[in-house]
Amino acid sequence: MQIVELKKGIYWVGAIDWNVRDFHGYSTPFGTTYNAYLILDERNVLVDTVKAPFYLEMLGRISEIIDPSKIEIVVSNHVEADHSGSLPQIVEKIGNPIVITSERGKKGLEKYYQRSMNFKTVKTGDTLSIGHRTLTFVEAPMLHWPDSMFTYVNEDRVLLPNDAFGQHFASSQRFEDEVGDEVMRHAAKYYANILWPLAPLILKKVDEVVKMGIPIDMIGPSHGLIWRRDPSRIIQAYVEWSRGRMGRKILVIYDTMWGSTESMAKAILKGLIEEGAEARLLHLRSNHRSDIIAEMLEAKGILLGSPTLNNGMFPTMGDFLTYLRGLKPKGKVFGLFGSHGWGGGAVKEMRKILEQERFEIWEKGLEIQYLPDSEELKIALQFGKEFAHKVLNA
Ligand code: FEO
């Protein structure tokens, strides 16, 4: 195995999951990694572990560097099983190391694994000398679980923030500067699907870390590539996404039964483009919900279209709105359209869900019976133009 050293004495000892394609509802066409870090000092420290089936891969990497029994401390930044899944096994292997975690982390790990460990809990600002280095801990509740925390290696200026700043991306490279700009696409999808609802907390936490005055040379997240060349790039992107960075992008997200809603969607799209929007058409059965959410991140307007089925919206739209309501994107304007046979229902049902979530909705909707004729397609085109005008000039 190739040994990956971040800084002298700090190693990546995680695992690469090349084959995972669904990460609890999030599509991962490029797989992911579970990152764990080994710090060699007078007291050797392992920061985080990997998903349980990858325990031997992590152990193999550690064993190439040191005898695992020489690890004295394991830091558990986050309880979720993709990072703590191998904790019971590595604790067993090492032989009762100190396990450093937040107070909520301790409760979570005890409940998950139903066993006692040699816990030492920490709070924001607590430090631990491990010889030549000092570790500083920063609690990060709800980024993205209540137990989450960051570990910072003072002398090396390395931040290990667990899930924050990650990407679901498996590759043979470990550092973002070895891959290029593609990394931002994966980071944006990750932010949109995991961290978006926590935008206000992210802004607060970034502010808090800035006020702590800790310089950051490198960020080692728990998934994907390590930010080495310019870590401020991903911090700045998180700030901008959390503030709601938006361009001239408007999305048309739809499904269709016999092509009527699709004809409307394409006419609306034409209207959006004619009005100067950067518009995209996204069919719900051709695009995974998590990819559509990633597209939404920098969109200003969202048009949702559904045919009526059994007096309500199409099931794929129900699935999408269920996912969307949990992510609570702020600052978008929604518009609604749909087609029906003898009785409507889809637009009304979509509107009800959006109203419940207090999303901003354009009051004007568009509904057409059966197949839209040429006059109705002109109306749809005009509908798109008006929506773009409203959204882009807001
Ligand atoms: Fe919250 Fe990567 O687990």
The CATH number of 4-243 is 3.60.15.10
Domain spans of the chain?
Answer: 4-243, 250-392
Instruction: Report percent pLDDT > 90 for the chain.
Output: 93
pLDDT in tens, 107-145: 999 999 999 899 999 999 999 999 999 999 999 998 889
E strand or H helix that includes residue 231:
none
The CATH number of 250-392 is 3.40.50.360
Known active-site residue 80 = yes
Cα distances (Å, whole numbers) of residue 17 to 33, 186, 202, 207, 363: 5, 15, 27, 33, 46
| In the block, residue with structure tokens 């390395």 | 158
Look at residues 181, 134, 141 and name the one whose alpha carbon lies nearest to residue 158: 134
Other C-beta atoms closer than 10 Å to the C-beta of 356 total 10
Strand partners, 27: 22
- Read off the DSSP letter of residue 345: -
pLDDT in tens, 264-302: 999 999 999 999 999 999 999 999 999 999 999 999 999
Q: Which residues contact 35 (CB under 8 A, 6 or more apart)?
A: 12, 14, 48, 220, 221, 222, 223, 224, 226
What band does 211 get if pLDDT is binned at 50, 70 and 90? Answer: confident
61-76 average pLDDT score: 98
Ligand 1 centre to CA of 83 (Å) is 7
Ligand 1 atom closest to residue 222's alpha carbon, by position in its atom list: 2
The CB of 83 under 6 Å from ligand 1? The reply is yes
Ligand 1 atom closest to residue 78's alpha carbon, by position in its atom list: 1
Instruction: Tell the residue nearest (CA) to atom 1 of ligand 1.
Output: 80
The CB of 51 under 6 Å from ligand 1? The reply is no
Known active-site residue 78 = yes
Tokens standing for 136?
A: 């500083």
E strand or H helix that includes residue 224:
none
Whole-number pLDDT of residue 210: 84
Known active-site residue 186 = no
Does position 60 have pLDDT exceeding 90, yes or no?
yes
b/e burial code for range 262-283 (CB count within 10 A of at least 16 → b): bbbbbbbbbbbeebebebbbbb
Ligand 1 atom closest to residue 163's alpha carbon, by position in its atom list: 2
- Read off the DSSP letter of residue 207: H
**Alpha carbons 145 and 350: distance in angstroms, whole number:** 30
